[in-house]
Amino acid sequence: MTDAQQVTIRRATGDDLEGLTVLFDGYRRFYGNASDLDGARQFLAARFAVDESVVFVAARGAELVGFTQLYPSFSSGAMKRLWILNDLFVAPAARGQGTGGALMAAAESFARETGARGLVLATQKTNATAKALYESRGWKIDAEFDHYLRFF
């Protein structure tokens, strides 16, 4: 049995907070943010407390090795729910074993089960590994809309 076969994907609960905090902090550091375990824990706990996001975790035994976090949105044109796949992270030791694809498959299944129009995501232009994963699963770069940001 390979490592990828030993990974279980499931919806996270508050009981996963400590393991998820470590992964979330790793995700933030991957994108150039300073480590902040207390802030990560508080941020995630707040999402769980008011049911503001859906998190799927990849577990190998009792150890969490990856996660994806979805935020709800809506498509006004389609008049349906839309999910933002905002975060996807696999611990470095668990990469290259199909865990990212399994997390994406769980997110895609969840979106279908909830009757959503679909999922959207953004990634850094330089993240070739992530782009290859998304494209291998049939995701396309939006050719119709430009996305703008304004941060405060």
Domains, the chain, in order of start with CATH, read 3-136 (3.40.630.30)
pTM of the model: 0.92
Query: What are the pLDDT digits (tens) for 53-92?
Result: 999 999 999 999 999 999 999 999 999 999 999 999 999 9
Residues in the chain, pLDDT under 70: 1-5
DSSP, residue by residue, the chain? --HHHHEEEEE--GGGHHHHHHHHHHHHHHTTPPP-HHHHHHHHHHHHHTT--EEEEEEETTEEEEEEEEEEEEETTTTEEEEEEEEEEE-GGGTTSSHHHHHHHHHHHHHHHTT-SEEE----TT-HHHHHHHHHTT----SS--------
